[in-house]
């Protein structure tokens, strides 16, 4: 049977309808109206309240010590995650049926998601501004000089915005995946816990968890804030605190002369070498210059050295007394320097490269999640009752 | 990493019996024997009892707890997987093993809770006392009631599981209808869903041609497949079908026709927190061609607001509208682009008699301009004079939606031998729905008419 060629009447009179860009404007207008009518504005006072609470906790610690900065960085990251996630977790799933209907009557999913991206970006910007203002108002003091830009506050705003926006886009995707608001709100806490656990701020993660942390927004957020707060340049407050708590501890022991002589006779020990070089008599004295080393060597070589080595010296003192004897200022300086050196983290190095990498990573996350939302929602036609 | 042969044997035995080595396995095997009998008594194949995870679903079907059975089956499957993963990760310790452990505990809880629901259904189905539940819930004692109920003749279920496939085998398609260049041609072979381990046929063998300018009433009892049919026609939920509108395929060429179809579903698909005017204006911007000037667009919005009595509430939020107003708004949104095919699913629900008549009058006017209007309504007789044709859908003995009639109102009255449309619905409805249960007879009769 010959195939009958039939003309498509709709192709014949091809009408031009609104394109993607034009549809973004339509949906953006709708979202802005709904910001007012749907009480979406409530997220703004909510973010102020949360920022206030967090600010009160971190105001004395942020930018002061390593531990305080890390804890504050985690708190601020969580605050941004919270804000971002709750901005958009319900926005798609609550109107899924409407989206499907509109998609079938000409709506481009990419325009719909783009409108959401713009709208959510505006919300995130407002929330970032509110967060920074409220935290300052409750007593958080920000550094003045920035690393990438002239002012710290400028680049810190960018960081908080990017963390919030990436989290926002992530929950937009969860919303696109969920059929109902109940499903979305059930997934949400699990996602937040995963973000918290793998942020790296709560506990040190095993090396095996490294691949997971690469896809965790909070991990990048934490590193970014710690970098900008110049974590590595701050003292490790807890180190001296630990020593202080030990000051009352008693040191009761007995030392043998043999142990002291062995210590002073060790050529590998630079401190022993230093003590050995101490002069006991002047060059001008009758015996010439006698050093501690000369005495130690003479004693070791003597016939009755074994007897001497067996002699004991009782020690009964406290940690505080030893510190006092050595000089508290010097010991403190020494302990803090050594502890800070050992607590350095290369991921938090105060470098422009680090900040740029974290910014780009967060922006990349936001784009990937927006893309995933679009792909997920493109399949909305498969939804069944 | 990896299994030793003994561990592999142990794992497989655990998976098969659903218990743990060694007494749990023995109890599990006894339970399988009992379950075989239970499945057979409910009209299912006994060998399902041998397949882990699938047997949970089949037992839930026997208990009349199919939805719970689906979740139970999936949870059981997940439990088997996590159990295997635990074996593999047992030497790794740390986070990996902990994750699997948490997953397994979670799934165990889900399986336990859903099993209680299934066993509770079995107790209802066998009409026995609740005290049996104590034996059912424990894995180590579950085999006792399973063996007794499964193999003792005294215990019989109150219902049998329907095999929906049996009727399908004897059904034959009545072929297809010729595609017309103008109008709507429906050649629906089958609309089915795959529901876990079984296929359910919702609609079967529906063929018709609706000419342009016709307003068609879609009639049928509850669950006959009216909404499924209109969803299949407009491609909202695609079927194994060829739906042609004015010579173009609704499924493959939908992109070119999306502005030509209007569909008002049962529930109002509008955003509650937007105003009436902006809802309509956005619909107009999306659905009217780009070159329609702003003035003309605004005029069209004003026009539909006027037609549907929405002018007075133009600045009101949609959520503040009454049910009837919301319904009219939904219709107005679709009508704004003046579609060639207009499908409405119960547009008059929530409308009073006067409003319903006005609405149908409006739809009649739309049809008179050469459009096709298909309407589902549960109160057809108060507006019957506006319709040209009627489609009657009925559930056959296998509970599949079939075409029992398509033709003019006059022909329908002659075919069914009754004056009122609601009486037709009663004739084709099943006896348990208060109907005469004559669906099969009318389906066969209509098939004969079609062939003649």
- Asked if A106's CB is within 8 angstroms of B95's CB, the reply is no
Nearest residue to B318 via CA among A33, A295, A51: A33
- Model confidence pLDDT, tens digit, residues B111-132: 999 999 999 999 988 888 888 8
pLDDT digits over B10-26, tens only? 878 888 877 777 788 88
Spatial distance between the Cα atoms of A336 and A329, rounded to a whole number of angstroms: 11
What's the mean pLDDT in A91-113? Answer: 92
Compare all CA atoms of chain A with the CA of B193 and give the residue at the minimum distance.
Answer: A384
For testing contact with chain A, the best of B282, B283, B319 (most A CBs within 10 A): B282
* pLDDT value of residue A12: 46
Predicted structure pTM score: 0.78
pLDDT at residue A100 greater than cutoff 80: yes
Contact partners, residue B12, CB within 8 Å, separation at least 6:
none
pLDDT at A2 (0 to 100): 41
Domain residue spans of chain A: 17-234+346-382, 239-340
**B274 contacts in chain A (CB < 8 Å):** 30, 33-34, 37
Instruction: For residue B95, list chain A residues with Cβ-Cβ distance below 8 A.
Output: 206, 208-209
Model ipTM over 0.85 = no
Q: Which residues contact B163 (CB under 8 A, 6 or more apart)?
A: B43
The more confidently predicted of residues B6 and B300 is: B300
Q: What is the mean pLDDT of chain B?
A: 87
**Residue tagged 């006067």 (tokens):** B354
Residues B416-451 have pLDDT tens digits of 999 999 999 999 998 888 888 899 999 999 988 877
**What dihedral angle (degrees, nearest 10) is formed by the CA atoms of A191, A193, A196, A199?**
-60
Q: What is the Cα–Cα distance from B106 to B76, expressed in whole angstroms?
A: 11
- Per-residue pLDDT, A8: 45
Are B274 and A33 within 8 A, CB to CB? yes
Please answer yes or no on whether B193 and A17 come within 8 Å at the CB atom.
no
Any idea which of A13-22, B22-31, B123-132, B200-209 has the lowest mean pLDDT? A13-22
The pLDDT of residue B169: 39
The dihedral over CA atoms of A231, A233, A235, A239, expressed in degrees to the nearest 10, equals 80
Listed in order, the ranges of chain B carrying CATH 3.40.50.300 are 166-260+339-451
Mean predicted confidence (pLDDT) in B230-256: 89
Nearest by CB to A30, which of B248, B282, B291? B282
Q: What pLDDT shows up at residue A24?
A: 96
How far apart are the CA of B236 and the nearest CA of chain A, in angstroms? Answer: 7
Task: Note the pLDDT of residue A278.
Answer: 86
Which residue in A30, A105, A385 is closest to B287 by CB distance?
Answer: A105
Residue B340, SS3 per DSSP: coil
Looking at CA atoms only, how far is residue A40 from chain B in angstroms? 11
Q: Domain B166-260+339-451, CATH 3.40.50.620 — does that match?
A: no
Closest in B227, B246, B278 to A33, CB measured: B278
pLDDT value, residue B130: 83
Residue whose C-alpha is closest to residue B363's, from B249, B220, B214, B250: B214
Give me chain A's average pLDDT, please: 89
Structural contact between residues B441 and B447, judged by C-beta atoms closer than 8 angstroms:
no
* Pairing state between β B184-195 and B240-245: antiparallel
Q: What is the pLDDT of residue B128?
A: 85
Residues of A in contact with B246 (CB under 8 A): 9
Average pLDDT over residues A332-337: 88
Evaluate whether B316 touches B272 at the Cβ level (below 8 Å). no
Highest-scoring range by mean pLDDT, A164-173, A336-345, B191-200, B346-355: A164-173
Which chain A residues contact residue B110 at CB under 8 A? none
Q: A101–B269: do the CB atoms touch at under 8 Å?
A: yes
How far does the CA of residue A103 sit from the closest CA of chain B (Å)? 9
To the nearest whole Å, the CA of A120 is away from the closest chain B CA by: 18
Question: Which residues on chain B are in Cβ contact (under 8 Å) with A18?
Answer: 285-286, 290
Q: Which residues of A touch B194 (CB under 8 A)?
A: none
Position A6 scores a pLDDT of: 46
**Contact of B49 with B32, CB cutoff 8 Å:** yes
Whether the pLDDT of residue B170 is over 50: the answer is: no
Chain B positions in Cβ-Cβ contact with residue A3 (cut-off 8 Å) = none
pLDDT on residue A5 = 43
- B282 CB neighbours in chain A (<8 A) are 26, 29-30
| For B291, nearest residue in chain A (alpha carbons) | A16
> What is the SS3 assignment for B53?
coil
Beta strand extents in chain A (DSSP E only): 250-256, 312-318
Asked if pLDDT for residue B166 goes beyond 50, the answer is no
């Amino acid at each position: 049977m010959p195939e009958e060629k039939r003309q498509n009447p709709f192709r014949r009179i091809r009408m031009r309808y609104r394109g993607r860009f034009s549809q973004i404007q339509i949906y953006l207008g709708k979202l802005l109206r709904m910001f007012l009518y749907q009480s979406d504005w409530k997220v703004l006072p909510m973010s102020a309240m949360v920022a206030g609470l967090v600010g009160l906790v971190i105001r004395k610690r942020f930018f002061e010590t390593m531990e305080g900065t890390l804890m504050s960085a985690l708190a601020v990251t969580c605050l941004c995650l919270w804000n971002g996630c709750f901005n958009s977790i319900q926005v798609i799933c609550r109107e899924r049926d409407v989206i499907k209907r509109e998609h079938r009557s000409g709506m481009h999913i990419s325009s719909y998601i783009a409108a959401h991206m713009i709208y959510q970006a505006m919300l995130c910007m407002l929330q970032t501004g509110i967060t920074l203002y409220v935290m300052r108002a409750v007593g958080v003091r920000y550094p003045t000089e920035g690393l990438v830009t002239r002012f710290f506050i400028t680049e810190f705003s960018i960081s908080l915005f990017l963390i919030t926006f990436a989290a926002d886009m992530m929950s937009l995707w969860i919303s696109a995946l969920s059929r109902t608001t109940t499903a979305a709100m059930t997934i949400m806490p699990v996602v937040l816990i995963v973000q918290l656990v793998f942020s790296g701020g709560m506990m040190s993660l095993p090396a095996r968890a490294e691949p997971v942390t690469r896809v965790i927004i909070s991990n990048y957020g934490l590193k970014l804030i710690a970098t900008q707060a110049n974590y590595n340049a701050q003292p490790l407050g807890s180190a001296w605190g630990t020593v202080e708590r030990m000051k009352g501890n008693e040191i009761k022991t007995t030392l043998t002369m043999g142990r002291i002589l062995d210590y002073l006779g060790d050529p590998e020990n630079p401190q022993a070498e230093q003590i050995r070089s101490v002069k006991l008599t002047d060059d001008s004295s009758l015996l010439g210059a006698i050093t501690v080393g000369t005495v130690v060597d003479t004693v070791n070589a003597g016939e009755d050295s074994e007897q001497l080595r067996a002699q004991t010296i009782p020690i009964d003192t406290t940690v505080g007394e030893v510190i006092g004897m050595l000089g508290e200022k010097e010991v403190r300086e020494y302990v803090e320097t050594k502890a800070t050196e050992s607590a350095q983290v290369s991921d938090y190095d105060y470098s422009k490269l680090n900040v740029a990498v974290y910014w780009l990573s967060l922006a990349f996350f936001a784009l990937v999640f927006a893309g995933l939302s679009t792909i997920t929602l493109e399949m909305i036609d498969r939804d069944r009752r | 990493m990896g299994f030793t042969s003994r561990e592999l044997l142990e794992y497989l035995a655990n998976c098969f019996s659903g218990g743990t080595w060694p007494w749990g396995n023995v109890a599990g095997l006894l339970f399988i024997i009992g379950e075989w009998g239970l499945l057979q008594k409910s009209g299912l194949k006994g060998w399902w009892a041998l397949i882990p995870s699938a047997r949970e679903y089949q037992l839930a079907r026997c208990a009349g707890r199919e939805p719970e059975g689906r979740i139970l089956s999936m949870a059981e499957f997940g439990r088997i997987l996590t159990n295997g993963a635990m074996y593999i990760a047992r030497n790794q310790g740390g986070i990996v093993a902990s994750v699997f452990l948490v997953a397994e505990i979670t799934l165990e809880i889900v399986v336990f809770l859903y099993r209680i629901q299934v066993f509770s259904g079995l107790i209802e189905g066998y009409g026995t006392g609740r005290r049996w539940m104590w034996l059912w819930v424990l894995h180590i004692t579950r085999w006792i009631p399973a063996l007794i109920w499964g193999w003792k003749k005294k215990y019989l279920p109150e219902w049998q599981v329907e095999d929906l496939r049996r009727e399908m085998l004897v059904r034959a398609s009545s072929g297809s209808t010729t595609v017309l260049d103008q109008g709507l041609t429906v050649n629906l072979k089958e609309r089915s869903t795959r529901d876990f381990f079984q296929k359910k046929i919702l609609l079967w063998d529906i063929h018709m041609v609706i000419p342009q300018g016709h307003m068609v009433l879609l009639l049928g009892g509850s669950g006959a497949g009216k909404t499924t049919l209109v969803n299949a026609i407009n491609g909202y939920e695609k079927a194994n079908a060829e739906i042609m509108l004015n010579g173009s395929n609704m499924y493959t060429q939908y992109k070119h026709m999306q502005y030509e179809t209007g569909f008002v579903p049962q529930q109002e698909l509008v955003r509650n927190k937007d105003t009436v005017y902006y809802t309509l204006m956005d619909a107009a911007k999306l659905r009217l061609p780009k070159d329609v000037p702003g003035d003309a667009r605004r005029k069209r919005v004003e026009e539909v607001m006027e037609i549907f009595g929405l002018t007075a509430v133009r600045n009101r939020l949609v959520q503040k509208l009454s049910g009837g107003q919301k319904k009219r708004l939904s219709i107005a949104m679709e009508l704004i682009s003046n579609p060639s095919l207009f499908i409405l699913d119960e547009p008059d629900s929530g409308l009073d008699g006067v409003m319903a008549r006005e609405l149908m009058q409006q739809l009649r006017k739309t049809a008179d301009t050469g459009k096709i209007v298909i309407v589902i309504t549960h109160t057809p007789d108060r507006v019957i004079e506006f319709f040209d044709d009627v489609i009657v859908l009925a559930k056959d003995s296998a509970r599949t939606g079939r075409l029992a009639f398509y033709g003019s109102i006059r022909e329908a009255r002659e075919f069914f031998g009754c004056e009122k449309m609601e009486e037709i619905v009663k004739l084709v409805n099943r006896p348990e729905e208060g109907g005469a249960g004559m669906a099969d007879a009318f389906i066969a009769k209509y098939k004969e008419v079609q062939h003649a």
